[in-house]
Amino acid sequence: MKTYEAPDFLGIDTKLSSEEKMIRNSIRDFVSRDVLPRIAAHYESGTFPTELIQPLAELGTLGATIQGYECAGINYTSYGLIMQELERGDSGIRSFVSVQGALCMFPIAAFGTEEHKRKYLPKMAKGELIGCFGLTESDFGSNPGGMLTRAKKDGSDYILNGSKMWITNGGIAGVAIVWAKDENDQIVGFIVDRDLKGFSVRSIKNKFSLKASVTSELIFEDCRVSASQRLNISGLKGPFACLNNARFGISWGALGASMACYDEALNYSKSRVQFDKPIASFQLVQSKLVEIFTDITLGQLLALHVGRLKDADKALPEHISMAKMKNVSNALKHARLTRDILGASGITYEYQCGRHMLNLESVNTYEGTEDIHRLILGHYITGIPAFK
């Protein structure tokens, strides 16, 4: 196995603590050893590598920033580095960990009761219980505030009716965080156990992107959920607080996908000979390599700085929007440039760039599309919301 070397032009490593580097390196080794050799086959067959859940849990990646409850309790910069390394392997693996930690364990830790935390978090940290997060509906993606799913109070229960679309981990989840509107049109969240009557899941199979990730529809038909399972938050700020954490992780994850592509483009172009020379000796190919290399360097600075702000509790949602928007759209560009540099070889599963390119189409759309983040930043700089 060739040792992977990540680009570090500005010496970002010198800005990391020894603990942060140790965490990063352990995930880097795991990805080289356990993810890369199997991921193309899973991707091709459209299966999620469930055999990686246990090792991911043992490495402390699930709910990694949560203190206590058998979680690792590491800082957000370390969490970002984990996501970077995992997405070097595949966006689907990073998605699995994002959803479990940032979208399911975080709301239980932040808005759940002590009983909820004790019941769910240790099992989720150990990978014994998988979570999914239901916000999007088929007619309400960028505009989740329009959701139709309803939670109607009935004695000491709520009755859930509606459906959630495009839900990562849905088919393998034992528990779902579900957002619905109550009778006052307030958005409320519930921890919904998968075995409840009236809760069913339909797998979404015909995907060309994130094929090594489970994507599902969640359906609720008169599903009776105890009021004790309600999270202590109301309004869209509940789900958005979760999205801030997940979007932060994605901004680092995208760097990992870019780094994988850069490594592949550089190695391939140095060994591929055309017109009697390695293609890396041609100016146009060098220009593409330099563009990827420069974007990665700028993206590393952005991610690290937002990570430090987040660790100091000073990261604004808009900082995270800029990092998610720019690092993901750049990663998509890098995957396409790498695919181009690899010529015909780039369309096969033998190389990674095509798989990353297809995955990144989803990553650019989920957790707020590139344009939704552009509008969030437009609102920030002008003070004028342009969503409607």
Q: Which does 167 bind (CB under 5 to 8 A by kind): ligand FAD, ligand TGC, none?
A: ligand FAD
Residue list 113-172, contact with ligand TGC (CB under 6 A): 133, 135-136, 142-145, 168
CA–CA separation, 130 and 101 (whole Å): 10
Interface map 344-363 toward ligand FAD (x if CB under 6 A): ------------------x-
Task: Please confirm, yes or no, whether 58 is among the known catalytic residues.
Answer: no
Residue 95 engages ligand TGC in binding (rule: CB under 6 A): yes
User: Quick one: which H or E segment has residue 179?
Assistant: strand 175-181
Determine contact, residues 28/105, Cβ cutoff 8 Å. no
> What pairing do the DSSP bridges indicate for beta strands 187-193 and 175-181?
antiparallel
Q: Which CB sits closer to ligand TGC, 78 or 362?
A: 362
User: Of the listed 115, 264, 367, 370, which one is catalytic?
Assistant: 367
Q: What is the dihedral of CA 20, 83, 104, 372, to 10 degrees?
A: 120
Q: Is 284 left (phi over 0), alpha (psi -120 to 50) or beta?
A: alpha
125 interface partner picked from ligand TGC, ligand FAD, none, CB below 5 to 8 A per type: none
State how beta strands 175-181 and 131-134 pair.
parallel
- Alpha-helical (H) ranges within 272-369 are 283-311, 317-341, 353-365
Binding status of residue 387 toward ligand FAD by CB under 6 A: yes
If the CB atoms of residues 144 and 198 are measured against ligand TGC, the closer one turns out to be 144
Residue 236 touches which member of ligand FAD, ligand TGC, none, C-beta under 5-8 Å by kind: ligand TGC
* Rounded CA separation 106/246 (Å): 10
Considering CB under 6 A, how many residues would be counted as binding ligand FAD? 21
Choosing among ligand TGC, ligand FAD, none, which partner's interface includes residue 371 (Cβ < 5 to 8 Å by kind)?
Answer: ligand FAD
Give the interface with ligand FAD as residue ranges (CB under 6 A).
99, 133-136, 141-142, 166-168, 210, 215, 362, 365-367, 369, 371-372, 375, 387
Which residues are annotated as catalytic? 367
